[in-house]
Structure 1
Amino acid sequence: MATTALYSTLFDTLPANVLCLLFVVMVALISLAGLHLHHLYVETKTSAQNNEVVGIIFGAVSLIYSLILAFVILAVWQDYDELRKTIASEADRLNSILAHSATLPQPIQQPIKAALTSYCNQVVAQEWSTLHPSQLHRPSAIPDLRLMLLQLQPQTKLEENIYAVLDEDLSCVSDLRRSRLSFNQSHVPDLVWFILNTGSIMLIIFYYFLNVPSMKLKRFYLTFLSGYIAMCMFLVYRLDRPFAGREQISSKPYLTILEMIKQEQLTQK
């Protein structure tokens, strides 16, 4: 939990590209400072044979760490892509409710549009930034609208079919909403963060024991190594928190629905 709180403090204010650059520079400087201290206080004279053994072990450790990091990046990217699909599906269902309700009598259309407007406003204004949703397990996304539809008596076969479609759409919206809200919380367990952070530190420290003829060249290699690790860790963090920061996932589908309802109301006037 301490790790995620630290990342939240560092990464939720500036643009992602600026934050990434700052984070890379910070990690590289800390790594170079560690290398300097290592050369001051730790014996670094090693034979060519020992350096070859250290290099082999370093390569093996790097490979294992890279596989773990690649697996985590793939997992969070799949979650991010799933969230985009969930948002698109939820918006499609809301559009379906709006389109089907247009065939109903005007007194019934108005409360449906009002309910959809309230729902989309709640999504954009509240749920988009909620880290711990308190209503995650609410049985229905728009309970008042669903209750109203259940109490209505269809006058024709067409209305009966439309009410059935609207009820099905509302059920899907409820399921999709729960799925969307689940992404407000990190999908990467604290243990995984601990392993990634600890593995990054261990890999950088292990590099200190490699014997490179030129100290400048060793610093140059270390800068690339630490910078690349920092970029990968930053990528994991950003993908795991799609609703945080300035480059959060777009709420445009819900804003589009609100605009459609507003345009319809203006047209009717």
Structure 2
Amino acid sequence: MVLLETLVVVFAVAVVAALAVIVKTKLFPRREGDLPREDVAEYISMMVSVFYALVLGLCLVSVWDNRATADDRVQTEASALHQTYLLAEALPAGQRQPVRDAARAYAAHVVGVEWPRMAEREPLGPEGWVLLDRLRTAGELTGRGTMAQQIAAQEMLAQIGYVDDARRGREAAAQERLSAVLWTGLIIGGVLTVGFMFLFGLERNTTHVILVMGLSGFIAFTVLLIHQLDAPFGPTLGVTADPFTRYFPR
């Protein structure tokens, strides 16, 4: 709906501008001997190029910032989970292995189940939260314990809290998308920028062809780059599960 509304507004503005030019031409026709105003066309072409460069920069910053945030969340989540695994050594003997098993089960679920879902922008489901609650329950002291064990249990719960927060951030980053308005600006701006190059000719056709090819190819590359970065957990430029597999190898 947002994309459709944006297209309607853009098209309406373009139609109004076209009507204004037609009215101006009818009311003030060009007289014989008047030179064509090529400088106006050059000015419009330059302004379109400048605005399009701004849109490209905004899109690149937006998708890169989301990917960087997703990477930080993954690093924090994996590191906190690993610290939880290590802190299990300070718990009573009967609780150490359950905590380690719960941490490994959570890491395996994230890598094996949630990562493919995030790549396809599918909901993660409740399974991961159930495994995290199981880890939190396993880390709670069943008895009074020693002072060192109580401190380790408190630190473990704090690390699990970090895992919880990072997991929420990772889930939000996986669902984040570039605005449909920005995608509209990318496509329309690219078409206009390339199209305006046909308004001005060069003395050498070969040079003109090379310039058009270079600009078109670079714009296509930039749009494809934005498309790949818009999937922060995609298969090409997305964040990988290496932090989890490094701490918890299969």
Q: Give TM-score, length-normalised by structure 2.
A: 0.77
The counterpart of 2:91, out of the listed 98, 104, 108, is 104
* Distance verdict in 2 for CA 1:92–1:102, change over 3 Å: same
The counterpart of 2:182, out of the listed 184, 192, 212, is 192
The counterpart of 1:126, out of the listed 84, 88, 113, is 113
The counterpart of 2:248, out of the listed 227, 252, 258, is 258
Letter in 2 for 1:180: R
Deviation of 1:48 after TM superposition, in Å, equals: 8.1
Relative contact order (C-alpha < 8 Å, sep 6+): which is higher?
1
- Structure 1: 5+ residue runs without aligned partners? 4-46, 263-269
Query: Any residues of structure 2 matched to 1:34-73 within 5 Å, and which?
Result: 49-73=36-60
Residue pair 1:141, 1:173 contacting (<8 A) in 2 also = no
Deviation of 1:134 after TM superposition, in Å, equals: 4.0
- Mark the structure with the bigger radius of gyration: 2
Residue pair 1:124, 1:254 contacting (<8 A) in 2 also = yes
Residue pair 2:67, 2:229 contacting (<8 A) in 1 also = yes
After superposition, give the CA deviation of every residue in 1:10-34 in whole Å (9 maximum; x if it has no partner). Answer: xxxxxxxxxxxxxxxxxxxxxxxxx
Aligned to 1:227: 217
Aligned to 1:177: 167
Aligned to 1:154: 144
Q: Give TM-score, length-normalised by structure 1.
A: 0.72
Aligned to 1:87: 74
Aligned to 2:229: 239
Letter in 2 for 1:54: A
Deviation of 1:110 after TM superposition, in Å, equals: 0.9
Separation (CA, whole Å) in 1 of partners of 2:185 and 2:211: 23
Residue pair 2:83, 2:159 contacting (<8 A) in 1 also = yes
Separation (CA, whole Å) in 2 of partners of 1:118 and 1:252: 16
Separation (CA, whole Å) in 1 of partners of 2:127 and 2:107: 18
Residue pair 2:141, 2:150 contacting (<8 A) in 1 also = no
When structure 1 is superposed on structure 2, of 128-137 and 112-121 the one drifting more is: 128-137
Give the paired residue count: 216
- Structure 2: 5+ residue runs without aligned partners? 4-33
Aligned to 2:8: none
Letter in 2 for 1:98: Y
Aligned to 1:204: 194
Separation (CA, whole Å) in 1 of partners of 2:95 and 2:181: 51
Aligned to 1:167: 157
Percent identity reads 22
Aligned to 1:36: none
